[in-house]
Structure 1
């Protein structure tokens, strides 16, 4: 299994062992907002930690950890351009497989500007992007995200994350992939399975988004277990639990 969106820097060492025991072999840890990112130095140190310390911590417990690097909409430094200028060289690291987690939180002018610059860079470099959508006002924000994607990025390079039953109709027919986040306040296992039953498995990948917020490092294997009980076949389970992510991120 692959957990396609986590925040490894917020989790204890033992979580990775539990994940490995439960059948998770790979995961992608995303840049986010663990500290007030007042300057590019802080953001770049955060990304460096993900590439070094957290990859090592996961590896020691049997998890092959990959990294998405970028500027989260809740963590925009005043000198953000220094981070964007560094991203091409950061992406030369074979462990860094995407720009992310980027996107919009409130949809401010600053967020729009930084998001647009990052997706234009992803389009130029032809690298995947992991796109954050907020808990609040998700439907309106996704409309803005979709508009920006259509103008600035080959949508097949994007996974729009934290999709729920209220917005799935807006995005399921687009070229991008879709992330189902099984986490309190986002999706329950049962709601995720209902989406998969209605829309199929080809567009979706599972993740826990485990972080300092309430979250479960085993939410992906628990969802897979429930899918088996719901009579999804092995091919369907394989697609959402690892094959779609493996193909999208070229792991």
Structure 2
């Protein structure tokens, strides 16, 4: 039986995981942008991450017959500095027309702060 994994973070996984997923019948994945476990220090770091999600991961997945789709955003954990967050949000439109991009995500609130809410609303 084939399946689709609707929420997975492959940028932090090894290539062997794609092989195992393909063997188990995975035909497609959907990867939302996420917090890396540390705050990124520059908008360029996000640009590189978005390139990884839109160029590198689809090729890596395709090598195993898996379609890779993604969602792009700035995570609420990195939205406390609105100026920085806006720099990142301004990068997103250049990626939205790429064939594997589904939309904006994984967004929401972490601490329910005013800054998080502002950036959430701006991403919506």
Task: Give the structure-1-normalised TM-score.
Answer: 0.45
1:66-105 pair list within 5 angstroms: 66-76=69-79, 78-105=83-110
- Per-residue Cα deviation, 1:60-87 (whole angstroms, up to 9, x for no partner): 1221001111111123365221222222
Question: Is 1:50–2:53 an aligned residue pair?
Answer: yes
Match of residue 21, structure 2, among 19, 25, 31: 19
* SS of structure 1 residue aligned to 2:68: strand
Task: Give the structure-2-normalised TM-score.
Answer: 0.87
Choose between structure 1 and 2 for higher RCO, CA contacts under 8 A separated by at least 6 residues: 2
Q: How much is the aligned-residue C-alpha RMSD, in angstroms?
A: 1.5
* SS of structure 1 residue aligned to 2:76: coil
Question: Is 1:64–2:79 an aligned residue pair?
Answer: no
Quote the residue 1:167 is aligned against.
none
Q: State the distance in 1 between where 2:8 and 2:61 align.
A: 12
Q: State the distance in 1 between where 2:17 and 2:29 align.
A: 12
Q: State the distance in 1 between where 2:44 and 2:108 align.
A: 21
- The Cα of 1:38 is off from its aligned counterpart by 2.3
* SS of structure 2 residue aligned to 1:20: helix
Question: Is 1:112–2:117 an aligned residue pair?
Answer: yes
* SS of structure 1 residue aligned to 2:51: helix
Which entry has the higher C-alpha Rg, 1 or 2?
A: 1
1:1-251 pair list within 5 angstroms: 1-34=3-36, 35-76=38-79, 78-119=83-124
Q: State the distance in 1 between where 2:94 and 2:49 align.
A: 16
- The Cα of 1:92 is off from its aligned counterpart by 0.8
Kept after mapping to 2: 8 A contact 1:47/1:69 = yes
Q: State the distance in 2 between where 1:87 and 1:53 align.
A: 17
Structure 1, gaps ≥5 residues long? 120-251
Kept after mapping to 1: 8 A contact 2:54/2:95 = no
Q: State the distance in 2 between where 1:6 and 1:84 align.
A: 22
- The Cα of 1:39 is off from its aligned counterpart by 2.2
Kept after mapping to 2: 8 A contact 1:68/1:97 = yes
Kept after mapping to 1: 8 A contact 2:6/2:29 = yes
